Chains A and B, each alone.
Chain A
Amino acid sequence: MPDGSIIKTAMLEINDLHGFYGESHVLHGVSLEVRQGEVVTLLGRNGAGKTSTMRSIMGIIGRRTGSIRFQGTELIGMAQHKIPRLGIGYVPEERGIFSSLSVDENLTLPPVIKEGGMTVEQIYDLFPNLKGRGTTQGTRLSGGEQQMLAIARILRTGANLILLDEPTEGLAPVIIEQIGVAVRALKARGFTIVLVEQNFRFAATIADRHYVMEEGHVVDMIPNDQLDANMDKLHTYLGV
Chain B
Amino acid sequence: MFDLLGVPPQALFGQLLLGLINGSFYALLSLGLAVIFGMLNVINFAHGALYMVGAFVAWLLLNYLGLGYWWALFLAPTAVGLIGVVLEKTMLSRLYKLDHLYGLLLTFGLALIFEGAFRHFYGVSGQPYPIPDLLKGGQNLGFMFLPNYRGWVVVSSLIVCFGTWFAIERTRLGAYLRAATENPVLVQAFGINVPVMVSATYAFGVALAGLAGVLAAPIYQVSPLMGSNLIIIVFAVVVIGGMGSILGAILTGLGLGLMEGLTKVFYPEASNIVVFVVMAIVLLIKPAGLFGRER
B5 at the interface (CB under 8 A from A): no
A122 within 8 A of B: no
Judged by a CB distance under 8 angstroms, whether A110 is at the interface is: yes
Q: Does B186 contact A (CB under 8 A)?
A: yes
A90 to B192, CA, bound (A): 13
Q: Any chain A CB within 8 A of the CB of B191?
A: yes
Contact between chains at A84 and B190 (CB < 8 Å): yes
Are A82 and B191 touching (Cβ within 8 A)?
yes
For residue B174, which residue of chain A has the nearest CB?
A105
Cβ-defined contact, B191 with A98, below 8 A: no
Tell me the complex Cα distance, A79–B193, Å: 9
Asked if B178 and A85 make an inter-chain contact with CB atoms under 8 angstroms apart, the answer reads no
Q: Which of B175, B183, B194 contacts A96 (CB 8 A)?
A: B183
How many of A's residues come within 8 Å of B, CB to CB?
25
Within 8 A of A (CB), among B109-163: none
Cβ < 8 Å to A, chain B residues 172-187: 172, 175-176, 178-179, 181-183, 185-187
Chain B residues bordering chain A, tally (CB within 8 A): 18
Instruction: Give a binary string over A91-104; 1 marks a CB under 8 Å from any B CB, 0 the rest.
Output: 01000101111000
| Chain B residues with CB below 8 A from A84, complex form | 189-191
| Complex CA distance for A85 and B190, rounded to whole angstroms | 8
B93 within 8 A of A: no
Chain A residues near B179 (CB, 8 Å)? 98, 100-101, 109
| CB-based contact B182/A100 at 8 Å | yes
**Contact across chains for A105 and B190 when beta carbons are under 8 A apart:** no
A113 near B191: Cβ-Cβ < 8 Å: yes
Q: Is the CB of B189 within 8 A of A80?
A: yes
Closest to B178 in A: A100
Asked whether, in the complex, the Cβ of B191 is within 8 Å of the Cβ of A96, the reply is no
- Could you tell me which residues of chain A, from 37 to 89, have a CB within 8 Å of some CB in chain B? 58-60, 79-85
A111 within 8 A of B: yes
Contact of B190 among A59, A100, A110 (CB under 8 A): A110
> Chain B's nearest CB lies how many Å from the CB of A78?
12
Q: Is A178 an interface residue, CB under 8 A from the partner?
A: no
Q: Which residues of B contact A81 (CB under 8 A)?
A: 188, 191-194
Interface residues of B in 197-211 (CB under 8 A from A): none
Given the complex of chains A and B, what is the CA–CA distance between A150 and B189 in angstroms?
Answer: 13
Tell which of B172, B188, B191, B194 has the most Cβ of chain A within 10 Å: B191
B189 close to A90 (CB less than 8 A): yes
Chain A residues, Cβ within 8 Å of B176: 109
Instruction: Say yes or no for A108: interface residue by CB 8 A criterion.
Output: yes
CA distance A91 to B68 in the complex (A): 53
Residues A100 and B181 in contact in the complex (CB < 8 Å), given A81-B194, A105-B175, A108-B172? yes
Contact with B along A119-149 (1 / 0, CB 8 A): 0000000000000000000000000000000
CA distance A75 to B175 in the complex (A): 28
Q: Say how far A204's CB is from chain B's closest CB, in angstroms.
A: 28
B186 to A96, Cβ gap below 8 A?
A: yes
Cα(A31)–Cα(B48), bound, Å: 54
Q: With both chains docked as a complex, state the minimum distance between the C-beta of A134 and any C-beta of chain B, in angstroms.
A: 13
Determine which of A58, A90, A98 lies in contact with B178 in the assembled complex, contact meaning CB atoms within 8 Å: A98
Given contacts A60-B188, A96-B183, contact A101 B175 (CB under 8 A): yes
| CB-defined contacts of B178 to chain A, threshold 8 Å | 98, 100-101
Residues of B within 8 A of A108 (CB): 172, 175
Docked pose: A90 CA to B193 CA in angstroms: 16
How far is it, in angstroms, between the C-alpha of A59 and the C-alpha of B190 when the chains are bound? 12
Interface centre among A109, A113, A154, A157 (most CB of B within 10 A): A109
The listed residue (A58, A98, A113) touching B189 by CB distance below 8 A is: A58
Would you call B182 and A98 a contact (CB within 8 A)? Answer: yes
A111 — which chain B residues lie within 8 A by C-beta? 190-192
Contacts of B181 in A (CB 8 A): 100
Hey, which bits of chain A sit against chain B, CB under 8 A? 58-60, 79-85, 90, 92, 96, 98-101, 105, 108-111, 113, 154, 157
* Sampled A-B contacts (8; CB under 8 Å): A81-B188, A81-B192, A81-B194, A82-B191, A85-B191, A98-B179, A99-B182, A110-B191
Contacts from B to A (Cβ < 8 Å): 172, 175-176, 178-179, 181-183, 185-194
Given A90-B186, A110-B191: 6 more A-B contacts, CB < 8 Å:
A60-B188, A84-B189, A90-B189, A92-B186, A109-B176, A157-B191
| 9 smallest beta-carbon distances between A and B, as pairs | A84-B191, A110-B190, A100-B178, A96-B186, A85-B191, A81-B193, A105-B175, A98-B179, A58-B189
